[in-house]
């Protein structure tokens, strides 16, 4: 007997960073599969717009929570909405990404990035993962990145948070799998999102940019089949080649040079750094 997506991961999905980009597309595709939604993001107006559109187009229930996930006690705002719901799918998608040298950022931004990208997913996974394990079913997706594979220049803190997400996801794939809970670390690769566009990338033939619809569909298809996945066949081939042929030193330098071509040049005037 085949278990449907809704039976396995329903009736509710909780998605962070759900107002735009990959998060908005995760919301749409989960609704398309029949899941009700709890959507979390900071942009209240855009979040309401997304939620209303999904309710209209897919006839599912949608609850929204306007919340900054860098806050100290995020569960205090989330559990009053979710305690009465059966959350069968958690998508830890929210993230802050800026391509810039590490010392260009102030420390407050870097700490906020760490909290949104990694700490929030840890808290939500511990809370909802326990409930899923008790029910012996569910799914959790961590949005990682190709930058998690190697030290990635100009994305140092971001890459560190995504490496944390990847290793946590792969480990929980085994641990929670014993309780019927599927976990996936999904490395989306270069994806055309508002965050990608905000960094003003320049065209570069070696960087293939994926659309959000393709990336999300690949992630949902992979859930329950493997502990982690690099999105896009060309990306998988590229990282496979680097792992087999390049030393780690050469791989780090190669990725750095690619980033410089796409997003550079970067200002090296230390006195201007903030």
Check if 158 is active-site: yes
**Active-site option among 150, 158, 164, 239:** 158
**Measured between alpha carbons, how far is 224 from 20 in angstroms, rounded to an integer?**
25
Whether 162 and 205 have beta carbons less than 8 Å apart is answered as no
Positions annotated as catalytic residues are: 158
């Amino acid at each position: 007997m085949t278990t449907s997506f809704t039976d396995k991961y329903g009736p509710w999905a909780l998605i962070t960073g759900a107002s735009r980009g990959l998060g908005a597309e995760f919301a749409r595709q989960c609704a398309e599969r029949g899941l009700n939604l709890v959507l979390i993001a900071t942009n209240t107006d855009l979040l309401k717009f997304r939620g209303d559109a999904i309710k209209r187009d897919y006839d599912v229930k949608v609850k929204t929570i306007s919340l900054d996930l860098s806050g100290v006690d995020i569960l205090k705002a989330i559990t009053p909405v979710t305690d009465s719901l059966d959350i069968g799918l958690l998508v830890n998608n929210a993230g802050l990404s800026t391509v810039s040298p590490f010392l260009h950022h102030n420390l407050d931004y870097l700490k906020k990035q760490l909290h949104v990208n990694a700490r929030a997913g840890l808290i939500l996974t511990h809370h909802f993962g326990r409930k899923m394990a008790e029910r012996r079913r569910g799914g959790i997706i961590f949005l990682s990145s190709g930058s998690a594979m190697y030290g990635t220049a100009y994305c140092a803190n971001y890459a560190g948070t995504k490496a944390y997400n990847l290793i946590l996801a792969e480990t929980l794939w085994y641990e929670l799998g014993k309780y019927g809970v599927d976990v996936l670390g999904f490395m989306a690769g270069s994806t055309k999102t508002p965050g990608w566009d905000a960094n003003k990338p320049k065209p570069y033939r070696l960087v293939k940019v994926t659309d959000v619809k393709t990336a999300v569909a690949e992630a949902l298809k992979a859930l329950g089949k493997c502990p982690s996945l690099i999105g896009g066949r060309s990306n998988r081939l590229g990282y496979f080649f680097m792992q087999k042929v390049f030393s780690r030193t050469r791989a780090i330098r190669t990725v750095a040079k690619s980033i410089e071509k796409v997003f550079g040049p970067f200002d090296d005037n230390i006195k201007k750094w903030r």
